[in-house]
């Protein structure tokens, strides 16, 4: 087993204590992560502040360092993918894709052309809007996609001239620590620092005097605490939070054809995706066929240890999340829902849960109204399109949603009415570095990705030069 370290000022640093990281497919300890103390966190922020003095000066150096960083990731899919599968649970091929995705995101931000914004150039003056880095960034990530979600922060923050201290989730810290170690082979010391620990460490970070921005991805409840903690110091904040994405099927879809895509929109990463489909609305006229098609698909999927050949879905990542999914499914069934597929945990070690399709339930059931974040999805019947739009929007969440229909004009008209950051037609989870990603309402504050994500790591400065 390799040793995992904090990365501070370009150095591997041990902590005086460690905590266990489990393999969710076995429930056994896979590795030890260093528990970052307050003193070490101070050092990490100190190193980031020191490194920023030079890092902010030369954009071309930053762009070429990010290109090298991308190449590092393209060459590290096997190593990092293996660690990611062991601590997160996802199938190895998906874990390797996640690492390659990090490379794609870093490459995108290395290559992104940012045009100068001249807002006045006449006989009186030349005025330009320029973007300046904010300073040191505190970045905090969750356990479902630890690497790619980190890259959504690292790429734009570093390109803009900021430096960073990044903390992964205590459930999946090891792949991130190793990724940061590898990136430090091509980045100047102190530009990107990695620390690991529990929620308490996250609280120290958001309250720390050094960072000028907090970039947070995680749950709504933690996100609200982050916003409060950052407020007294007026730290800039980006929050990427939870979702309860609706998929609205229109009555002209072919249930068998649509089921395959909708299934993966819901069950990718065992449903542990912020913007996965979390409730499916099907019209009464084809409701039974939709449920049957989804159930057949769910029953045919291979669930198992992510390192096994042919596995399509891994376990739930951790015990509390496993208990939560169990509880929400049991609550739905005791309230009268029918498990058309699955319905409970899989016997044996690890946090495995049967891919579950729930039918015969409606809004007001916990698994419809709350974010389940696991491999269990309710299918809800509706009669009229206007009514389903209202129900889809009747939530505090607003991350994304999708509408499925053969008549794309009609589908687009419905998609226009969804209150969420991304509204797909005949797709779900189609994400790309150039698309801004963020949530309405409680699903977030600000966006990541694209030039908009880059702007969120900058302050606007007006450069005004008089000509008279």
Q: List residues with catalytic annotation.
A: 240, 274
Asked if 371 touches ligand NAD (CB under 6 A), the answer is yes
Nearer to ligand NAD, 399 or 429 (CB): 399
**Residue 447 phi, psi (nearest 5):** -135, 160
Q: Which of 199, 257, 327, 386 binds ligand NAD (CB under 6 A)?
A: 199
* Stretch 92-131 residues interacting with ligand NAD (CB under 6 A): none
Asked if 36 touches ligand NAD (CB under 6 A), the answer is no
* Stretch 272-311 residues interacting with ligand NAD (CB under 6 A): 274
Q: Is 136 in a helix, a strand, or coil?
A: strand
Q: Which of 140, 150, 253, 361 binds ligand NAD (CB under 6 A)?
A: 140
Classify residue 409 by its DSSP letter.
H
Asked if 35 touches ligand NAD (CB under 6 A), the answer is no
Q: Is 125 in a helix, a strand, or coil?
A: strand
Question: How far from each other are the two terminal CA atoms of the chain, in whole angstroms?
Answer: 69
Nearer to ligand NAD, 74 or 452 (CB): 452
Which two tokens mark 455?
């702007």
Q: Which of 56, 126, 203, 326 binds ligand NAD (CB under 6 A)?
A: 203
CB of residue 227 vs ligand NAD: minimum separation in angstroms? 10
Q: Which of 76, 206, 269, 402 binds ligand NAD (CB under 6 A)?
A: 206
C-alpha of 1 from chain center: 28
Q: Is 162 in a helix, a strand, or coil?
A: coil
Nearer to ligand NAD, 85 or 169 (CB): 169
Asked if 398 touches ligand NAD (CB under 6 A), the answer is no
- Neighbouring-strand partners of residue 400: 422
Classify residue 34 by its DSSP letter.
E
Asked if 378 touches ligand NAD (CB under 6 A), the answer is no
Nearer to ligand NAD, 228 or 408 (CB): 228
CB of residue 370 vs ligand NAD: minimum separation in angstroms? 10
Which two tokens mark 232?
């007294």
Identify which range of 125-133, 142-150, 261-269, 385-393 contacts ligand NAD by CB under 6 A: 142-150
The residue of the chain with the least Cβ separation from ligand NAD equals 202
Classify residue 159 by its DSSP letter.
H
Asked if 155 touches ligand NAD (CB under 6 A), the answer is no
Q: Which of 77, 222, 291, 447 binds ligand NAD (CB under 6 A)?
A: 222
Q: How far, in Å, CA of 126 to CA of 257, rounded?
A: 57
Q: How far, in Å, CA of 464 to CA of 127, rounded?
A: 4
Q: How far, in Å, CA of 33 to CA of 3, rounded?
A: 8
Asked if 241 touches ligand NAD (CB under 6 A), the answer is yes
Identify which range of 31-39, 202-210, 322-330, 402-410 contacts ligand NAD by CB under 6 A: 202-210
The residue to which tokens 């068998």 are assigned: 256
User: Of 59, 44, 286, which Cα lies nearest the Cα of 159?
Assistant: 59
Give 444's contacts (C-beta < 8 A, 6+ positions apart): 223, 238, 239, 240, 241, 399, 421, 438
Asked if 324 touches ligand NAD (CB under 6 A), the answer is no
Farthest-apart Cα atoms in the chain, separation: 80
Asked if 179 touches ligand NAD (CB under 6 A), the answer is no
Nearer to ligand NAD, 55 or 109 (CB): 109
Nearer to ligand NAD, 161 or 433 (CB): 433
Q: Are 380 and 281 in contact (CB under 8 A)?
A: yes
Identify which range of 47-55, 93-101, 143-151, 188-196 contacts ligand NAD by CB under 6 A: 143-151
Nearer to ligand NAD, 142 or 355 (CB): 142
C-alpha of 175 from chain center: 15
Query: What are the Cα distances from residue 334, in Å, to 98, 168, 363?
Result: 38, 36, 15
Q: Which of 9, 155, 202, 271 binds ligand NAD (CB under 6 A)?
A: 202
The residue to which tokens 């050094």 are assigned: 210
* Stretch 407-466 residues interacting with ligand NAD (CB under 6 A): 439, 444
Q: How big is the site for ligand NAD, counted in residues (CB under 6 A)?
A: 30
Q: How far, in Å, CA of 375 to CA of 396, rounded?
A: 22
User: Which run of H or of E encompasses 278?
Assistant: strand 277-283
Sign of the Cα torsion 421, 426, 429, 434 reads: negative
Asked if 225 touches ligand NAD (CB under 6 A), the answer is yes
List residues binding ligand NAD (CB under 6 A): 140-144, 149, 167, 169-170, 198-199, 202-203, 206, 217-219, 222, 225-226, 240-243, 274, 371, 373, 399, 439, 444
């Amino acid at each position: 087993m390799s040793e995992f370290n904090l990365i501070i000022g370009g150095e591997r640093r041990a902590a005086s204590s460690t905590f266990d990281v489990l393999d969710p497919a076995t429930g056994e300890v896979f590795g030890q992560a260093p528990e970052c103390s307050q003193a070490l966190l101070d050092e990490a922020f100190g190193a980031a502040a020191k490194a920023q003095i030079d890092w902010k000066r030369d954009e071309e150096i930053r762009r070429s360092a990010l290109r090298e960083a991308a190449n590092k990731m393209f060459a590290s899919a096997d190593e990092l993918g293996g660690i990611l599968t062991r601590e997160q649970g996802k199938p190895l091929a998906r874990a390797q894709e996640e690492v390659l995705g990090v490379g794609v995101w870093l490459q995108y931000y290395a290559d992104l052309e940012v045009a100068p914004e001249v807002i006045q150039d006449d006989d009186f003056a030349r005025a330009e809007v320029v973007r300046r880095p904010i300073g040191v960034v505190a970045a905090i990530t969750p356990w479902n996609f630890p690497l790619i979600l980190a890259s959504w922060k690292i790429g734009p923050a570093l390109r803009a001239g900021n430096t960073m201290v990044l903390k992964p989730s205590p459930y999946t810290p090891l792949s991130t620590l190793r990724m940061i170690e590898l990136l430090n082979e091509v980045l100047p010391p102190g530009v990107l620092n990695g620390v690991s620990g529990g929620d308490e460490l996250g609280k120290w970070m958001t309250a720390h005097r050094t960072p000028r921005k907090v970039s947070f991805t995680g749950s709504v409840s933690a996100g609200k605490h982050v916003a409060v903690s950052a407020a007294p110091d007026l730290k800039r904040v980006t929050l990427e939070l939870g979702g309860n994405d609706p998929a609205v099927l229109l009555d002209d879809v072919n249930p068998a054809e649509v089921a395959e895509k909708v299934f993966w929109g819901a069950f990718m990463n065992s449903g542990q995706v912020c913007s996965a489909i979390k409730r499916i609305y099907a019209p009464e006229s084809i409701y039974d066929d939709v449920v049957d098609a989804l159930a057949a698909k769910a029953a045919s999927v291979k669930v198992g240890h992510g390192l096994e050949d042919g596995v399509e879905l891994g376990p739930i990542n951790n015990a509390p999340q496993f208990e939560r999914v169990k509880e929400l499914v049991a609550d739905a069934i005791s309230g009268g829902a029918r498990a058309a597929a699955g319905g409970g945990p899989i016997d044996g070690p690890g946090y495995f849960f049967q891919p579950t399709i729930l039918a015969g339930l409606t809004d007001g059931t916990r698994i419809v109204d709350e974010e389940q974040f696991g491999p269990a999805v309710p299918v809800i019947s509706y009669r009229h399109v206007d009514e389903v739009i209202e129900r889809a929007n009747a939530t505090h969440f607003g991350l994304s949603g999708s509408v499925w229909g053969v008549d794309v004009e009609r589908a687009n008209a419905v998609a226009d009415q969804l209150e969420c950051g991304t509204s797909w037609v005949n797709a779900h989870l189609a994400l790309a570095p150039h698309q801004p990603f963020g949530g309405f309402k409680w699903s977030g504050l600000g966006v990541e990705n694209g030039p908009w994500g880059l702007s969120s790591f900058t302050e606007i400065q007006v450069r005004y030069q008089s000509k008279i």
